[in-house]
Amino acid sequence: MKIYLKIWRQKDATSKGQMVKYTMDGIEGDMSFLEMLDVLNEELISKGEEPVEFDHDCREGICGTCSLQINGRPHGPDTLITACQLHMRSFKDGDSITIEPFRAKAFPVIKDLIVDRSAFDRIQQAGGYISVNTSGNTVDANAIPIEKENADDSFYAATCIGCGACVAACKNASAMLFTSAKVSQFALLPQGRVEATDRVMNMVRQMDLEGFGNCTNTGACEVECPKGISLENIARMNREYLSASIKG
């Protein structure tokens, strides 16, 4: 296949970026999207040019490192996958593909297609944990029975990989889906209830401080989430926030 690429190149956070065109030949359908970029980079290096930098690590859809905006969509055209799971068979001979970094004020560009998502870590640090001592002096695990349905729902919320596709998909660059997934995981379990008020207040406050926008219930985040994290989590976080506000 012949593929025409338009890729965002930006030297560093303070430089002005621009789209640069590349043409790739001999692309095979069983290549992953990132392997196609590997091939491009080999060509660039052999010509003495600097390769295109992009974030990637596990390449099996679980670490959440890859963060490409492909033809205007986070992680590209297929649903329920990350960019590293996208294969070139999803494209056809002669296609043009535009590749940009995730766009959001709270995700500044570091270089080329790499953005800084450390704001997500700071939201978690504001309360995305249960305050238990890691000493090994906890009660027996089966001393706290948990209804299977709640445990399963908690698990589904906890499968968020923190990639940031929800933010990149949102017209307001809101981090509500990400934040609500963590709030929901603990809201559904008995263990973390005693600090639920502080948790939701602190996490939401941090989310706003980081410069993420508000949620206007557009639902683009749910559509683009590679792990299918549900909008119900946002509703659950809103309930938690409301009851915390009343208490607070």
Q: Which of residues 56-95 bind another protein (CB under 8 A)?
A: 56-65, 81, 85, 87, 89
Nearer to another protein, 215 or 227 (CB): 227
Nearer to another protein, 80 or 214 (CB): 80
Q: Where in 135-194 is the site for another protein (CB under 8 A)?
A: 135-136, 138-142, 144-148, 151-152, 154-155, 158-159, 161-162, 185-186, 189, 191-192
Cα-flanking dihedrals φ and ψ of residue 113, to 5°?
-100, 5
Q: Verify binding: residue 28, another protein, rule CB under 8 A.
A: yes
Query: Contact 169/220 with Cβ under 8 angstroms?
Result: yes
Query: Contact 54/110 with Cβ under 8 angstroms?
Result: no
Q: How far is the CB of 217 from another protein (least distance, A)?
A: 27
Query: Contact 73/67 with Cβ under 8 angstroms?
Result: no
Q: Which helix (DSSP H) or strand (DSSP E) does residue 127 occupy?
A: none
- Residue of the chain from 4, 20, 42, 208 that contacts another protein (CB under 8 A): 42
Helices (DSSP H) in the chain: which residue ranges? Answer: 33-46, 118-125, 148-158, 165-169, 176-187, 196-209, 220-224, 232-247
Size of interface with another protein, in residues (CB under 8 A): 79
Q: Where in 202-241 is the site for another protein (CB under 8 A)?
A: none
| CA-to-CA separations, 130 to 35, 40, 81, 107, 194, in angstroms, rounded | 39, 45, 30, 27, 9
Q: How far is the CB of 57 from another protein (least distance, A)?
A: 4
Nearer to another protein, 78 or 172 (CB): 78
Q: Where in 97-136 is the site for another protein (CB under 8 A)?
A: 110-111, 114, 116-118, 120-121, 124-136
Burial class (CB in 10 A: 0-12, 13-18, 19+), 84: buried
Nearer to another protein, 208 or 214 (CB): 208
DSSP state of 114: E
